[in-house]
Amino acid sequence: MNGADVPTTILRSLAGFADPAFLGIVLLSLKVTLSAVGLAGLVGFPLGAALALGRFPGRGLVIVVVNAFMGLPPVVAGLAVFLLLSRSGPFGGLGLLFTPGAMMVAQFVLVLPIIVALTRQTIEDLWIEYRDQLTSMGADRLRAIPTLLWDARFSLVTTLLAGLGRASAEVGAILIVGGNIAGFTRTMTTAIALETSKGDLPLALGLGAVLMTLTFTINGLAFSVSRLGARYAG
Amino acid sequence: MRATTSILPLSLDGVALEIDGRLLLAVERAEIRKGRRTVVLGPNGAGKTLFLKLCHGLIRPTAGRIAFAGDHADRRHAMVFQKPVMLRRSVEANLTHALGLAGLGFFERRRRATEVLATFGLADLARRPARVLSGGEQQRLAIARAASVDPELLFLDEPASALDPSATRRIEDLLGELHAGGLTWVMTTHDLAQARRLADDVLFFHGGRLLEAAPAETFFTAPGTEEARAFLESRLFW
């Protein structure tokens, strides 16, 4: 393929967006990534806030570990989840390995530390500002958590996007635990890796373009919503 | 909501706050009496804010006793901070949040918030985000929020220090109305004219010490210490 063909092939691939197999790959990617990030948010926001406000022995160590896990290599996370979910592993009975469920678990594991670590920092900074006021109104640290999370909501959107970026760009972990099975666990990133190694560059490029477009769209929407909200709420 | 037993007078006895060997505040004896408008006066850094925070229970003294009369004193006093934190929500939601923390149920919160908005002239601003209000409006909301839980005693830390004269006037009128309604308040200021306008009792601080506690007329006509005389003549250096 020479350079002049590239735009054409991308366009042709985008036209193939209506192709059910292609569409299936895109939808599965979205489903896995969005549910993993959504769940990580549900768990990570309160956990991060609790870590910000909690006082217990070993807190410093926990923070260091969580921060370090932000850089957890996806293949290592994939391997760990693979061992846990494999037939002989502790959760083998669930039969999750090589299913979309396993990919969600792997991405959840990758995204959770990012959300916990960034939430912890955001909430800790906000607590410095809010502490006297909330204490004065009768809130202890536990009751302050929902107030702080809600008031930090516009910053936390960015935290969620950081997690989304990690999950949607990731290929190592879901390749290991999902197996890249056509029509079942093949996502955009695993398909790109496969098609590139097979030499089907047009398809890989088309998928890459779709992935980029989706990423820009989601980030653009999130930015506008949080910008508007922040302007409204001050 | 107001209980029958009063939490006043509030009395301080031999109170000291020492951090890292440095004495930040010392109050030999002081009393906040029911129905009196107490003004805590002194230059910047005199310890006025620390005094309020100690009384309000945000900081524990390292020595001495701060005691309210009666048994259930803990939730009967509120505080308005020099820079009140407005939650990132509407004016009304700032009130319902405070009322929720005070233990009011969902519907009761709303009913009471509507009432308070009307009382404090904030009804038109109810839906506005609290953080985009003007300084004067924010201060009024801060006072409304603190007063909404029906405290018997209200601490105010320089409530008008950042406001223009007309907004200051509104705050002072508001404090007059609250006092007429049976609320006892304690306010810090470094503004002598304001202290003269509002005070029944004066607590004069300098260098972290309570130097004088006297009725306003006594303090302004015959101050008992050289520092107070100097402050009243605007020649106190620190």
B107 or A203, which is more confident?
A: B107
How far is the alpha carbon of B218 from chain A, nearest alpha carbon, in Å?
Answer: 33
Give the CATH number, domain containing residue B17.
Answer: 3.40.50.300
Residue A4 lies in a domain: no
Biggest CA pair distance of chain A? 69
Residue B17 lies in a domain: yes
Mean pLDDT over each residue of chain A, to the nearest integer: 91
**Between A132, A153, A154, which is nearest B81 by CB?**
A132
Q: Do A138 and B75 touch (CB under 8 A)?
A: yes
Residue B22 lies in a domain: yes
Residue A93 is part of which domain span?
Answer: 19-233
| Domains contained in chain A, number | 1
Q: CA–CA separation, B165 vs B163, rounded Å?
A: 7
Measured between beta carbons, the chain B residues lying within 8 angstroms of A137 are 78, 97-98, 101-102, 145, 149
Measured between beta carbons, the chain A residues lying within 8 angstroms of B58 are 132, 135-136
Residue B38 lies in a domain: yes
Give the 3-state secondary structure of residue B186.
strand
The pLDDT assigned to B190 comes to 86
Least confident segment among A8-12, A56-60, B89-93: A8-12
Q: Do B87 and A232 touch (CB under 8 A)?
A: no
Residue A9 lies in a domain: no
| Domains contained in chain B, number | 1
Residue B51 lies in a domain: yes
Q: CA–CA separation, B74 vs B32, rounded Å?
A: 16
Smallest CA–CA distance from A140 into chain B, residue = B101
The pLDDT assigned to B45 comes to 86
Q: Return the residue in A126, A128, A133, A149 with the most chain B beta carbons within 10 A, the one to mutate for interface testing.
A: A133
How far is the alpha carbon of B147 from chain A, nearest alpha carbon, in Å?
Answer: 11
The model's confidence at residue B1, banded by pLDDT at 50, 70 and 90, is very low
Residue A2 lies in a domain: no
Residue A148 lies in a domain: yes
DSSP B7-75: -PPEEEEEEEEEETTEEEEEEEEEEEPTT--EEEE--TTSSHHHHHHHHHTSS--SEEEEEESSS--TT
Answer whether residue A216 shows pLDDT above 70: yes
**Between B75, B85, B131, which is nearest A130 by CB?**
B85
The pLDDT assigned to B2 comes to 47
Q: Do B78 and A147 touch (CB under 8 A)?
A: no
Q: Do A136 and B98 touch (CB under 8 A)?
A: no
How much is the average pLDDT of B35-44? 92
Residue B71 is part of which domain span?
Answer: 10-85+153-232
The model's confidence at residue A225, banded by pLDDT at 50, 70 and 90, is confident
Smallest CA–CA distance from A131 into chain B, residue = B85
Contact B156, B185 (CB under 8 A): yes
Answer whether residue A18 shows pLDDT above 70: no
Reference A105, options A179, A35, A48, A24; nearest CA is A35
Question: Which residues have a Cβ under 8 Å from the Cβ of A159 and sit 6 or more positions away?
Answer: A114, A115, A118, A119, A122
ipTM entry? 0.90
Which pair of structure tokens corresponds to residue A59?
A: 């807190």
Q: Do A133 and B81 touch (CB under 8 A)?
A: yes
Q: To 10 degrees, what angle do helices A153-169 and A141-151 make?
A: 70
Which tens digit of pLDDT belongs to each residue from A60-114?
999 999 999 999 999 999 999 999 999 999 999 999 999 999 999 999 999 999 9
Residue A222 lies in a domain: yes
The model's confidence at residue B145, banded by pLDDT at 50, 70 and 90, is very high
How much is the average pLDDT of A122-126? 97
Which tens digit of pLDDT belongs to each residue from A170-187?
999 999 999 999 999 999
Give the CATH number, domain containing residue A143.
Answer: 1.10.3720.10
Residue A116 lies in a domain: yes
Residue A164 lies in a domain: yes
Contact A44, A36 (CB under 8 A): no
Handedness of CA B37, B42, B43, B46 (dihedral sign): negative
Q: In three state form, how does the secondary structure of chain A look?
A: CCHHHHHHHHHHHHHHHHCHHHHHHHHHHHHHHHHHHHHHHHHHHHHHHHHHHCCCCCHHHHHHHHHHHCCCCHHHHHHHHHHHHCCCCCCHHHCCCCCHHHHHHHHHHHHHHHHHHHHHHHHHHHHHHHHHHHHHCCCCHHHHHHHHHHHCHHHHHHHHHHHHHHHHHCCHHHHHHHCCCCCCCCCHHHHHHHHHHHCCHHHHHHHHHHHHHHHHHHHHHHHHHHHHHHHHHC
Please tell me the pTM assigned to this model: 0.88
The model's confidence at residue B71, banded by pLDDT at 50, 70 and 90, is low
Question: Which residues have a Cβ under 8 Å from the Cβ of A150 and sit 6 or more positions away?
Answer: B88, B89
How much is the average pLDDT of A205-209? 90
Residue A127 lies in a domain: yes
Q: Is the peptide bond before A146 cis (omega within 30 degrees of 0)?
A: no
Which pair of structure tokens corresponds to residue B167?
A: 């907004």
How much is the average pLDDT of B188-213? 92
How far is the alpha carbon of B116 from chain A, nearest alpha carbon, in Å?
Answer: 16
Q: Do A136 and B131 touch (CB under 8 A)?
A: no
The model's confidence at residue A1, banded by pLDDT at 50, 70 and 90, is very low
DSSP B124-155: GGTTSBGGGS-HHHHHHHHHHHHHHT--SEEE
Give the 3-state secondary structure of residue B189.
strand
The pLDDT assigned to B238 comes to 53
The model's confidence at residue B154, banded by pLDDT at 50, 70 and 90, is very high
Q: What residue type is A140 in one-letter code?
A: D
Answer whether residue A8 shows pLDDT above 90: no
The pLDDT assigned to A13 comes to 60
Residue B158, phi-psi category: left (phi > 0), alpha (psi -120 to 50), beta (remainder): left
The pLDDT assigned to B131 comes to 92
